[in-house]
Structure formats: C-alpha cells, structure tokens
Amino acid sequence: MKAVTWHGRRDVRVDTVPDPVIKDPTDVIVRITSSGICGSDLHLYEVMGPFMGEGDILGHEPMGIVEDVGADVTKLKTGDRVVVPFNISCGTCYMCGQGLHSQCETTQVREHGMGAALFGYTKLYGQVPGGQAEYLRVPFGNTLPIKVPDGPSDDRFVYLSDVLPTAWQAVHYADVPKGGSLVVLGLGPIGDMATRIARHHSVSQVIGVDLVPERLQRAQNNGVETLDLLHYHGDLAEAIRGMTNGRGPDSVIDAVGMEAHGSPVAKIAHQVTGLLPDAVAAKFMQKAGVDRLNALHLAIDIVRRGGTVSVAGVYGGMADPMPMLTIFDKQIQIRMGQANVKRWVDDILPLLTDDDPLGVDSFATHHLPLNDAPHAYETFQKKQDGMVKVLLQP
C-alpha cells in the first residue's frame, strides 16, 4: 500500500509499504478514505525527530471503511464506516472507565513513562503505524472505532478523530462562567474549532488571537472578535484587558503549543536539537526545557485573577520554566492533557447533522490526494496558500 512516511527533519515521503494484517482477534483493518494532517504532525516534521524512526507511518486523524475483522470482533462488520480516534484506548480499563482514555492502562507506553499509545506518533507513544495511508490496522475493534452513518461526506465525521474532541475538551476545561469571556490563542484547526464550540455553548464573548490573515478572517466570519498579534508588539495583554472590563478574560485556551512565535531562546534550542545525534537529542529533550512558551506565558499574563487556562497545544520539554509566582499569586487554574476522544463522542455526534452548527462540512481548506502529502506538509508548516486544514484522500 501507499503511506506517508518520515525520513528526517522536513522530509516526509509517500512510500510503498506492506499492507497491515490482523494480528489479534479483536483487530479490524480499515481502508482509509480521508486522513487529516494535524498541527501536532508538524512537531514530527520539525522538532520531534529524535523520537522517530525512518519509515514510520504518520497520521492520527483517519476514517474509512472496515475491510476485514478479527475473529472476536462482534460490534463491526465488513463495509461499516468508522472514524478512528487518535489515542488507542481499550475502553474497559480503570482509566477508560474514568473517561480518561488518553491514559488507558492497557496501552500506556510504560517504557517511556507515557500515557496511551497514539497512532503515527513517535516512540514515546508506541511507534504505532499511522493513518495517512491506504489501510490501517485498528486494535480493540469492539470498543475503539466510532461507527458513523453512510451518506454525508467524510468531512462531516472525520474530525471526530481529533479536532472536535480536542477542541471540545479545551472549551470544557476552560470552564467559562455564564456570561463570561474566553480568549483563544492560536486559530489553527483546534483554536478555530474551539471558538466555534464556545459560541455554540453561548459563551458571551469569544476573542481569537493569531497572526495569519486567513485564520483571522475565518474566525471573524463565524462571529468571533479577533486580534492580530502582529499589531500589538507586547501590548496584547493590555488590549485584551481593555476588552474585558479591565481585568482580563475569565478563561484562556492556549491552542498554540511548543512552537509559539516570540520565543527566540527556545527556537535556538529547537534548532540545536535538530543538529544533535538522535540518541543525544532525545535525552536532551527529555531532560531540558526546549519549548517555545510565549503563548502559555501570554495566557498566564492575560487571564484574570482566579481565572482558568486550558492548554490544548502540545508541549514536549521536561524542564520548561514556568512563572510559578504569577500562577500562585493570581490563583490561576490550569487544565491540560491529550483529548480523551471517546469521552466526548456522545456529546459531539448529535451536532454532526445536516444543520452543521459547527461548520464541519466546510472546515477543510484543502482536499489533496495522498501523493501530495510532502507538498501539503511543507505548505502547512509555512502557513502558505491559506492552508488551515488538510484532508488527504488515498
């Protein structure tokens, strides 16, 4: 089959690789019909190379048609249409029972002290072949795949794999009080969807911050107040306080993560890490603070006293400096973590109707064949061509 594979920093290719096969009696094989490129895939493209292996298959936002089922699969059959969550959870352990599917005790990568395994995402998360491919082996066929109806296009459902539950959890964790205000830092796919979900939940004031004109315009088109980061040069916090009764927003979502703009020291750390031998770089990243924390520090600065910061952006450093005095003094609550996809599916599915209140049908900016993946990664990383969300279609 054809699959998108990692070969080095900024080097992804479409290779021919062996087809996946049933290994366990609860496995299913899914023929992929759509697979998104996630903003966190860019971390693999740029920063997380020390934890990758040449030829690793990328991608964790797939959906498709069941082609084969293991002997013990009773909940699915050949021909069923499914979405595959990005985190691999058994659905039956203690953590899954708590709604913490991203901490699944069956698939935790204990070798590296990490939570649940992920499709297509580094040795730290199990080095499981991903879904930017023609076929995907999916374990836990009775509990993991999300069965969806035939009929509507893939765009209606594919975001159940990651974007929708990640943004939903970010808004839930933000815990905006009735009549309150929310700032979303970063209007990429997760931030953009978070603003839509917040407005659907009738959050009174939603403000989005970015520096890419197309992303700002998308949010404006959905009724979100926007601020262009490039226009403020250090005065953004004061501008937001001026829009929120002088005290700052009740809640802030950091939807940016480790590659925030305005963090030159960490940018150098990223570049140095990319030059080190993989074994050395991996240890460096696990022991050092290498994240570009400008967005998180900004969130802590602008949120009101007693407010909440919800972190949806991915971070990777183990010793990043945090302004603990400010966090303590302002009595800020911080919530974060990988999205517990299966926890939120029952809340989200009723919204994926013909009325399309979250605008999923038109959410993707680009639909491209799988063979165009290398170009798509480059364009997405450079924020060119108005690219916000890409769906690859094998």
Find the angle CA(356)-CA(171)-CA(98) to the nearest 5 degrees.
Answer: 105
Rounded Cα–Cα distance for residues 43 and 199 (Å): 29
- On the question of pLDDT at 179 being above 80, the answer is yes
From 336, 355, 370, give the residue that closes a domain.
336
Find the angle CA(182)-CA(83)-CA(94) to the nearest 5 degrees.
Answer: 75
Q: Looking at residue 321, what is its pLDDT? A: 78
Pair 323, 185 in one domain: yes
Model's pTM, two decimal places? Answer: 0.91
- Which has the higher per-residue pLDDT, 231 or 81? 81
- Which has the higher per-residue pLDDT, 44 or 262? 44
DSSP string spanning 332-380? -EEEE-S--HHHHHHHHGGG-STT-TT-GGGT-SEEEEGGGHHHHHHHH
Q: What is the mean pLDDT of residues 158-183?
A: 98
Name the percent of the chain lying above pLDDT 70.
89
Pair 154, 10 in one domain: yes
* Strand partners of residue 133: 3
Total tally of structural domains belonging to the chain: 2
Query: Tens of pLDDT along 363-388?
Result: 999 999 999 999 999 999 998 999 99
Rounded Cα–Cα distance for residues 304 and 175 (Å): 13
Q: Looking at residue 258, what is its pLDDT? A: 64
Q: Looking at residue 318, what is its pLDDT? A: 63
Q: Looking at residue 393, what is its pLDDT? A: 97
Query: Tens of pLDDT along 242-293?
Result: 999 999 999 999 998 765 444 443 443 444 444 444 544 455 455 444 456 7
Q: What is the mean pLDDT of residues 126-137?
A: 98
Pair 6, 109 in one domain: yes
Neighbour-count burial for 247-276, b at 16+ CB within 10 Å, e otherwise? ebbbbbbbbbbbbbebbeebbebbeebeee
Pair 146, 64 in one domain: yes
Element (H, E) at 225: strand 225-228
Query: Tens of pLDDT along 309-338?
Result: 999 987 766 666 788 999 999 999 999 999
pLDDT band at 346 (very low <50, low <70, confident <90, very high): very high
Strands 251-254 and 333-336, sheet pairing:
unpaired
- On the question of pLDDT at 344 being above 70, the answer is yes
Pair 381, 344 in one domain: yes
- On the question of pLDDT at 134 being above 90, the answer is yes
- On the question of pLDDT at 104 being above 60, the answer is yes
Contact call for residues 63 and 148 (beta carbons, < 8 A): yes
Q: What is the mean pLDDT of residues 293-322?
A: 86
> 């009174």: which residue's tokens?
204
Burial of 242 (0-12, 13-18, 19+ CB in 10 A): exposed
Residues 6+ apart with CB under 8 A from 174: 182, 198, 251, 252, 253, 308, 310, 335
Pair 35, 101 in one domain: yes
pLDDT band at 122 (very low <50, low <70, confident <90, very high): confident
Rounded Cα–Cα distance for residues 121 and 44 (Å): 8
CATH number for the domain that contains residue 295 = 3.40.50.720
CATH number for the domain that contains residue 386 = 3.90.180.10
- Which has the higher per-residue pLDDT, 290 or 190? 190
Q: What is the mean pLDDT of residues 229-242?
A: 87
Q: Round the average pLDDT of the chain to a whole number and report it.
A: 90
Q: What is the mean pLDDT of residues 46-50?
A: 76
Pair 296, 201 in one domain: yes
Domain residues for the domain of 240 are 164-336
Pair 156, 195 in one domain: no
Pair 211, 140 in one domain: no
- On the question of pLDDT at 60 being above 90, the answer is yes
Pair 150, 254 in one domain: no
From 336, 359, 377, give the residue that closes a domain.
336
Q: What is the mean pLDDT of residues 154-165?
A: 98
Rounded Cα–Cα distance for residues 110 and 36 (Å): 28
- On the question of pLDDT at 132 being above 50, the answer is yes
Q: Looking at residue 351, what is its pLDDT? A: 97
Pair 129, 187 in one domain: no
Pair 237, 320 in one domain: yes
Q: What share of the chain is helix, strand, coil (3-state, %, to 5)?
A: 35, 20, 45
